[in-house]
Structure 1
């Protein structure tokens, strides 16, 4: 009799614990959805600073962009948008084409310095810390060197550069964490793809890990580290091996969405295509197309044209002696099955975010 009572008591305690655990999981999933919902509305334009006459202050000036790699669609699209804006405003803008090698960044800085560019932009992964001597020489030659779309708001100016145009990378990382929690019902076993050493990666992963630690301490993730120059050769076999080694992986998070093109073949080969959701960040058009087709579940988008406007606004203010912009006001927008069609079919660069910012910047720069 006593044994029977003890058994019933233990069973009741187990059931109660399970119910409490399920309730806690439901709560964190609801919280995740609430956090993500804030980023599904079309963003409003917010001016990063006071109006100024861009044509007048940029007359005769030159900007050189050194992207992390010209082969990354995200970066080449931003550069093309900036080139269009430069033509409209009336100054010289040039891109130092490269394939992601530090030696090529060195060449770009040397070219910019010797050709008297007013500002040399190290764009999104072209890390000043790898080329400090060349930055010092470029600054000595009269060029300002600015790291754009590389650092989070909380990070310091790197590598002796004159300044940065920061992005809220940490918040993007937090949203990736919330997505993984919500998508797996609070039982995350994610495979996360990163580029270690990149300041943007550090900021995003700080956000991702903080969300996990605070809201899902039992959740776990494994990391695959692939330098940009090795994406085409390393990502597919590494993801394939990870999926075979751990069949319980239930989410894949490539923190830069151009990585996705190398993830999908690994899913197909391992028979996991359509079975493991992918959440990512950047909003590159071809990846939003994969959201439309169901191959990617979520892409936290940045309007690439808005990035070009925001970064250029900061550069021009710096060159025109108007001070440094701490926040370029570049918003994030989540694309998933509910709204991916707004980006066009096929998706078009910067479509789906509304166009309020275009008129906003033209008015800000006194182009109207």
Structure 2
């Protein structure tokens, strides 16, 4: 009898411990979901413009100046859209802007910087993905020739910029990843199982993916990244689709694919469709490229973290012109994130346009800051 009573008491104690552990786990999950929801809702408000510094006469600084923008590849529609806006904004203020067309080969980036030096450009803009480390001799030659080379939308604020640059305008890639991670938590109620598509050769990939990991770690005990697929920029068109298809087959419980740069989505969406998982596997991504916003309206992508391409172009030029004027450059590019999903995608236009959906107050703000009113 004594032994039986002891066993029963031990069993009861074990049940109480198990119950309390289960309650604690449930509380942790509920708290994490609440935090994720708050983070997501905070990025649904229309972005607000804040000046990067004191007002200055930008037309006086820009007059007669030339800028060459070199994207990591001209196939990247997000970067093409930014450069198109840089060209138009340049016309507003008297700055000549050109794009250096390339196919993502480092020797082509070298040729672009050499072209800028030979043709008396004042600025070279290495925009999002051109790694300064692979063109250091050209950066030094540009410096000696009086050509200022900057990076924009490339480094995360946590990453030190190359000492060979005249300056840089970082963006919080970590923040993008953190939003993506919390989005999955928010939409699944704390049960996200993700396949992440990335390009490790691009330095900001590391903080962006870390942001996803940290969001899941902090706010979702059950959530996990099932697989990370690394594909080089020049191989997106050939390797992303088959790699994602294979991952979806080998990881049948996956409910999200996260292409961390939204231009990857053009290869991710067909992979999901061909494996017959369009109903069970969702896509969330970042950048706000118009064709991906169209994917949202078509039901092929669930969410895209939008960045106004026009806003990025204006902020980039603002920072560079401040440097030329002897004013402090901003600590980062300062372009807010805005979430697009089925609830507000129509505001981006049909078809989507690079700069619709963000309002127009920021344009008035830049004009006032630039003394153009």
Relative to the length of structure 2, the TM-score reads: 0.93
Q: Which residue of 2 aligns with 1:143?
A: 147
Report whether the alignment pairs 1:74 with 2:70: no
| Deviation (angstroms), 1:145 | 0.6
Q: Indicate conservation of the 8 Å contact 1:152/1:170, yes or no.
A: yes
Distance 2:345 2:190 in 1: 25
Give 1:158 deviation, angstroms.
Answer: 2.2
Shift of 1:339: 1.4
Contact 1:131 1:159 (8 Å CA) reproduced: no
**Which segments of 5 or more consecutive residues in structure 2 lack a partner in the other structure?**
none
CA distance in 1, matches of 2:254, 2:229: 13
Residue 170 of structure 1: which of 161, 171, 174 is its match?
Answer: 174
The answer on 1:267 being equivalent to 2:278 is no
Find out whether 1:293 has 2:298 as its counterpart: yes
* Per-residue deviation, 1:212: 2.6
Say which is worse superposed, 17-26 or 286-295, in terms of deviation.
17-26
1:226 corresponds to 2:227: no
**TM-score, with structure 1 as normaliser:** 0.95
1:202 corresponds in structure 2 to: 206
Among candidates 195, 198, 205, match of residue 191 of structure 1: 195
Aligned-partner Cα distance in 1 for 2:182–2:282: 14
1:236 and 2:241 equivalent? Answer: yes
Are 2:343 and 1:334 equivalent residues in the alignment?
no
Whole-angstrom distance in 1 between the partners of 2:275 and 2:266: 15
Shift of 1:344: 1.5
User: Per-residue displacement from partner, 1:315-336 (whole Å, max 9, x unpaired)?
Assistant: 1111222222213321100111
1:40 is the counterpart of 2:44? yes
Report if aligned partners of 1:118, 1:319 keep a CA contact under 8 Å in 2. Answer: no
Report the alpha carbon displacement of residue 10 of structure 1 after superposing the two structures with TM: 5.2
What residue in structure 2 maps to residue 358 of structure 1? 363
> Within the alignment, does 1:119 sit opposite 2:118 as a pair?
no
C-alpha separation in 1, matches of 2:273 and 2:62: 50
SS where residue 278 of structure 1 aligns? strand
Segment of structure 1 superposing worse, 213-222 or 88-97:
213-222
RMSD: 1.8
Any gaps of 5 or more consecutive residues in structure 1?
none
Q: Report the more deviating stretch, 211-220 or 119-128.
A: 211-220
Paired residues in the alignment total: 368
Name the residue aligned to 2:250.
Answer: 245
- Answer whether contact 1:39 1:332 (CA < 8 A) is retained: yes
Cα distance in 1 between the residues matched to 2:142 and 2:259:
34
How far does residue 126 in structure 1 lie from its aligned partner after superposition?
1.0
Query: 1:101-116 maps to which residues of 2 (within 5 A)?
Result: 101-116=105-120
2:57/2:370 contact within 8 Å kept: yes
Asked whether the equivalents of residues 191 and 249 of structure 1 are also in contact (C-alpha less than 8 Å), the reply is yes
Structure 1 partner of 2:88:
84
